[in-house]
Structure 1
């Protein structure tokens, strides 16, 4: 009897083991085939629209002069966020090497488990000192910093008022929170005031803006924004990724440039552009806010700790900047030279007096073709088109670095003039 019972119990198991553990190949292949067809159709749409984005391969360190796979000779790079030229600065590199030797490649963990080293705390203190704020918290990127703050800071009782052209990471971060959302017209103080009046019924109001807008190089009117914030009892948040390190007398950013450092409450920024160019982002502001972010900010709690070499490179970049503002001060004259020469040649340059100098072209195919022709002449630039910028506003975004010489800038302008005439952009 026992033998029969065991046989009966085994029978369903043996039958189940004999069945396939996954769907029949034909069904799986059918689903994959449909997926591939849909993906290829979407990719072909991108190609057909002229907005395909190819990746060029750099075979050297980042800098004003680089090597690019498939190109002969040295290439002048006018398409990096390496504003201060510190990405390959020898002291920055050496600091990273020393940290790699002393602290290792990474922590294999998140901060609150076993991923905080003294160099992380030291860099946070240095960031807070640089921005003249109470505290700071590190993230793997500023995208993570923007993804982590709004959900923690704002509830359904609050309101967030965001410039319509804010960076994608701000937009995504705002989407994650439950606050009531208001979008005001780009740089439009009248529309912002109307939205502030409308949002008075909410508990907290947070005005959110880029300090410098990355696609256009225009600067937020922070004095007016702070005036309205004080009039309507609101807080001010700025993203300073394209300002930290080189905007303002000491490179502290747009709030320093416009004299409103004490009136801006929260700053998010990056270590991955002017401050060494590796990776990392941060929030700096009131100590209570930073402390709460350590407890509840999901990108902070669930992402690996910023690697020690990256932290040390950024710390050295800040040291160099705080020791002397000479590097940052070279930017203004070089930016003015490029903008004035290009305008005189007949090009339309967007934005204000910022190292981001968008050469406005309108057509995506034209921007891409001109960028390719520039590379043939030894100048690395990239055409920007939808969805990175709005449709019909394609451009080549030129970025000036402190590492560029006056001769580099003149050579870039000469290449633009030659290519611009070839494509009928200028006479």
Structure 2
């Protein structure tokens, strides 16, 4: 290894460890369900994005297995050569129906969606108004486009309106886009989409919503855009297929001409092998299940509220979440890491989230209850939270 690289890595890894910012990865031994095994120990799992429990659903596993037997384990090519299987066509038709749009396009990950879609439409002659707390994939997608990035204060509609006015009236940009998460994953709050749409109409902004943590969760499962009845007002609906849907991948839903454009100009679609057939079949059925019944959605929200009420009653700072995402805000990074470690030792897996994922001084343990948790599991977690919280003087 190069001496300069070796020095750079050693010095910076030590610095991260000293600041409590080094993230240890814990391999899960087996399925990522409501109870997991880490280091040979059974733990209540409160860190998974598997909101509806579909990642371990028996019907979906059987569908994936049967499809692999018929189609093989891989698609064999990029979508534009001969990697588009009839399964992909069915999936995208199902996603468009799910999101209430004319068409949809699938990608290999939700992160890929933002890298693909933003840069396919926006360029150096354009501007993007981006919520200050948007996900890293949105930030990277904006940077890749080379458009002027204009952050607006989180969920601050006065700031958005002022910056939209300045950008559109400046004459400097051909197009202006406003981008927001639908549900903000670190705090669990929901974007003010009705107000954003109102401002977008006033200034002719392109509207872009990344609903990674909303699809399957908000709007009775249909997502944040449909929750507000705005599917005809949002130009780009972005979603992941690896959280509530339980498998892997991502998608963009919108007008047919938008999707047609992404098929010929979005680079991850053009240059990456298509999603594998077993996953595609499982995803399609998972989306159908969400459209057919709200049972899993309702159970998710019931469990989310139960955990929120329990943590708040114990005296934890759970922020202002409007969704099942439930942060316990600790503050100082080292204490946050210590808190998470003690939870694990006592039987709860709830990962510490610290800078740069969240601002310095706002470290938190983020809890992700799912439809698969039982009340007994959540009660066990709450008892451990109380024990560790009092031990570390996070609560009194």
Give the structure-2-normalised TM-score.
0.96
1:177 is aligned to 2:152: no
Partner of 1:230: 201
- Distance in 2, matches of 1:370 and 1:179, equals 41
* Kept after mapping to 2: 8 A contact 1:246/1:329: no
* Kept after mapping to 2: 8 A contact 1:335/1:353: no
Partner of 1:355: 324
RMSD of aligned residue pairs (Cα, Å) = 1.3
Unaligned residue ranges in structure 1 (runs of 5+): 1-30
Q: CA deviation at 1:70?
A: 3.7
Q: Counterparts in 2 of 1:37-186, with a 5 A limit? A: 37-71=7-41, 74-186=42-154
Q: Deviations over 1:141-190 (max 9, x none)?
A: 01111001111112334321110110000000001113332110000000
Partner of 1:279: 248
Say which SS state the counterpart of residue 38 (structure 2) adopts.
coil
Say which SS state the counterpart of residue 327 (structure 1) adopts.
helix
Query: Rg bigger for which structure?
Result: 1
Deviates more, 1:254-263 or 1:301-310: 254-263
Give the structure-1-normalised TM-score.
0.90
Partner of 1:187: 155
Residues matched between the structures, number: 393
* Kept after mapping to 1: 8 A contact 2:303/2:369: yes
* Kept after mapping to 1: 8 A contact 2:211/2:239: yes
- Distance in 1, matches of 2:38 and 2:145, equals 42
Q: CA deviation at 1:302?
A: 0.9
Q: Deviations over 1:67-111 (max 9, x none)?
A: 22242xx32111000000100000011111011111111123211
1:262 is aligned to 2:232: yes
Unaligned residue ranges in structure 2 (runs of 5+): none
Say which SS state the counterpart of residue 274 (structure 2) adopts.
coil
Partner of 2:272: 303
- Distance in 2, matches of 1:152 and 1:318, equals 26
* Larger RCO, structure (CA 8 Å, separation 6 or more): 2
